[in-house]
Amino acid sequence: MSFHYTIQSDKSLEEAIRSVEEQLAAIQFRVLWQTNLTDNLKNKGITSIEESYNILEVCNPYAAEKVLGQNPEANYFLPCKITVFEKNGKTQIGLPRPTSAMEPLKDAKLIEIVREIENDLIGVIDKAK
């Protein structure tokens, strides 16, 4: 299994981001903050990256409570990320798998908790497509 889950969308970047936000709200997640990495790089004088990379930091406070209650070191991997970006002129929506991120903590109960969160976020991406 790959460390990430990514699918292609026929939507524009803006439409895909809006759709992700709507699907997140349906499962009581929200975007804590969003940044366009490409714009940030351009503001620093780096112009060689042309594709748009949008990073959404997302959280459900009840899910975060479960994760941190199981293992406080999980804070290093929170909040979850969903990215909306262009690849070969096509919109992509993806996330790094929380189960992969948490593996170094070697906590089987934690992995069970984050697997449920991961499945929810994959559902968000599939519906936002």
pLDDT one digit per residue (tens) for the chain, 129 residues: 799 999 999 999 999 999 999 999 999 999 999 999 999 999 999 999 989 999 999 999 999 999 999 999 999 999 999 999 999 999 999 999 999 999 999 999 999 999 999 999 999 999 999
Domains of the chain: 4-128 (3.30.310.70)
In DSSP terms, 128 is beta-bridged to none
Angle subtended by helix axes 108-128 and 61-70, to nearest 10: 160
Q: What is the pLDDT of residue 100?
A: 97
Q: What is the pLDDT of residue 1?
A: 78
Q: What is the pLDDT of residue 73?
A: 98
**Contact in structure between 117 and 83 (CB atoms under 8 Å):** no
**Contact in structure between 56 and 31 (CB atoms under 8 Å):** yes
